[in-house]
Amino acid sequence: MRAQVRIIAHCCLDSPAPRPDDIAMTQPGTLHIDTVIFGGGAAGLWLLDELTRRNRPALLLEAHDLGSGQTVASQGIIHGGLKYTLSGMLTGSAQSIRDMPLLWRRALAGEITPNLSKTRLRAEFCHLWRTKTISSKLAMIGARAGLRIAPKKLDTEERPPALATCPGTVARLDEQVVDPASFIADLASQHARRLLQIDVRHGLEFVTDRDHTVQTIRLINPETGEPLDVLPRTVVFLAGSGNASLREAVGLQSSAMQRRPLHMVLARGELPTLNGHCVDGSSTRLTITTARDFADRTIWQIGGQIAERGTELDTPELIQHAKAELADVLPGVDFNGVEWATYRVDRAEAAAGGRRPEHVSLMQEGNVITGWPTKLALVPALVEAVVTVLPECQEAPSISPDHPLADRRWPRPVVAAPPWENAQWFPGN
């Protein structure tokens, strides 16, 4: 018999719980289950949906709010690869992502699974506009190379009000923009009984073999203190930045992951609706998406190159930089009375020497799978990769009706609030 190693986990995650008919109980407080997923963001919930439809007993564990890492903080654009072809070349990144918008569009229309027809869309398409530089003009031409979704130049009368006076080319790009919080809520509502809230600091313990195979996941109910032993066939870490501490907890290297930070800008006030990218040279100078806050005020999320440079700036400096950039690329927009805020978020990815990985990333060690989608749009590709390497499923008996998972005594996570709801806002000049 192989020796066991008990490792106490101290890490960070998100999660609600499973149906009585698809989780096996062998004795009080013990569950045998096919797959345990850590992380209640886009990738974890999409995988849970896929496994459930394949009749594979699965459970998702979340330490914080659903989507609270990168998902709800994202701008929600279902990229088709344009930003990776601005040099005029069809890069590996563009090839890996170019089919994703069509797949997402069908899911959002309810034509394929997962059925995302209740997910709220911020926009059916984006706009692309260039600055008046020569290099930017060349980038607009190169952006058409090899994409499923390419820019379509708009006549002056077809431009949205925010871009009416831009001196350069304006194009339409059929990349949908989802509301990330709505997307998470849509998927979570379909599988609420398969989600559990966990306390990773005081209520999570892994029992592993010497080869890092997880034999038991010992959980403590955060509300009642009741123990629960989960015996999984496969464990999948899809917790974004939380993957590093989870891997450490089962004896795997955390250096398999890298973080690339962003410092995003928020604007709030009487702003026009705008979703799109300002192209300058071979990069997106800035990317703007429009949302509404809980008080029905207009919010702009501003990313792109400005958010990457912003990692070196404090909040007041970044706001001043953002004002100057916006005045330059959107000369027709009035920013008087607009309020400003910023927030920081890390892009968690497989280690690639600080560069952005070109594809989804997957690692399999023992019965542990670790994955990073790289981009929101690539989540379906990552889930497909995970399903491909899973072992053949074995049928499990049903759970007792008086088990804490059956009678809903285990707490369930809620969907995270968008970043602007908790931001510190500063008045404009």
List the CATH number of the domain containing 34.
3.50.50.60
**228 CB contacts (<8 Å, ≥6 apart)?**
29, 30, 31, 218, 219, 220, 221, 404, 405, 410
Same domain, 224 and 299: no
- Comparing 82-86, 291-295, 323-327, which segment has the lowest mean pLDDT? 82-86
| Model confidence at 11: pLDDT above 90 | no
Mean pLDDT across the stretch 75-99?
A: 62
Q: Is residue 428, in this structure, part of any structural domain at all?
A: no
More confident residue, 220 or 137: 220
pLDDT in tens, 198-208: 999 999 999 99
Radius of gyration of the chain from its Cα atoms, rounded to whole angstroms: 23
| Model confidence at 371: pLDDT above 80 | yes
Q: Band the pLDDT of 16: cuts 50, 70, 90.
A: very low
Outline where 228-271 has alpha helix (H).
243-249
Same domain, 358 and 404: yes
Q: Is residue 376, in this structure, part of any structural domain at all?
A: yes
User: What is d(CA 254, CA 424) in angstroms, rounded to the nearest whole number?
Assistant: 32
Same domain, 21 and 49: yes
**Whole-number average pLDDT of the chain:** 85
pLDDT in tens, 98-120: 788 889 999 999 999 999 999 99
- Comparing 218-232, 293-307, 401-415, which segment has the lowest mean pLDDT? 401-415
Same domain, 364 and 253: yes
Q: Is residue 236, in this structure, part of any structural domain at all?
A: yes
Same domain, 10 and 64: yes
Mean pLDDT across the stretch 209-221?
A: 91
- Comparing 25-39, 120-134, 212-226, which segment has the lowest mean pLDDT? 25-39
Q: Band the pLDDT of 190: cuts 50, 70, 90.
A: very high
Q: Is residue 63, in this structure, part of any structural domain at all?
A: yes
Look at residue 168 in the predicted model and tell me its pLDDT: 83
Half-sphere exposure of 147 (CA within 13 A, CB side): 28
Q: Is residue 19, in this structure, part of any structural domain at all?
A: yes
Same domain, 252 and 368: yes
Tokens representing 402 are 């008086």
Q: Band the pLDDT of 395: cuts 50, 70, 90.
A: low
Same domain, 91 and 162: yes
Question: Hey, which of 9-23, 95-109, 254-268, 403-417 has the most confident mean pLDDT?
Answer: 254-268
Same domain, 245 and 394: yes
CA end-to-end span of the chain: 71
- Comparing 14-18, 144-148, 227-231, 283-287, which segment has the lowest mean pLDDT? 14-18
Same domain, 49 and 23: yes
| Model confidence at 370: pLDDT above 60 | yes
Same domain, 170 and 295: yes
Q: Band the pLDDT of 149: cuts 50, 70, 90.
A: low
Q: Are 274 and 161 in contact (CB under 8 A)?
A: no
Q: What is the DSSP string of 79-140?
A: --SGGG-TTSS--HHHHHHTTHHHHHHHHHTTSSSS--TTSPEEES-EEEEE-SSHHHHHHH
Q: Which range of residues forms the domain containing residue 412?
A: 4-70+184-257+354-419
Q: Band the pLDDT of 81: cuts 50, 70, 90.
A: low
Same domain, 8 and 155: no
pTM to 2 decimal places? 0.89
**115 CB contacts (<8 Å, ≥6 apart)?**
107, 190
Q: Is residue 427, in this structure, part of any structural domain at all?
A: no
Single residue among 336, 363, 389 that ends a domain in this structure = 336
* Number of domains into which the chain is organized: 2
Q: Is residue 424, in this structure, part of any structural domain at all?
A: no
Same domain, 104 and 213: no
pLDDT in tens, 33-79: 999 999 999 999 999 999 999 999 999 999 999 999 899 999 999 98
Q: Is residue 99, in this structure, part of any structural domain at all?
A: yes
More confident residue, 265 or 406: 265
Half-sphere exposure of 45 (CA within 13 A, CB side): 34
| Model confidence at 144: pLDDT above 90 | no
pLDDT in tens, 295-315: 999 999 999 999 999 999 999
Single residue among 305, 336, 367 that ends a domain in this structure = 336
Look at residue 19 in the predicted model and tell me its pLDDT: 44
- Comparing 141-145, 159-163, 180-184, 224-228, which segment has the lowest mean pLDDT? 141-145
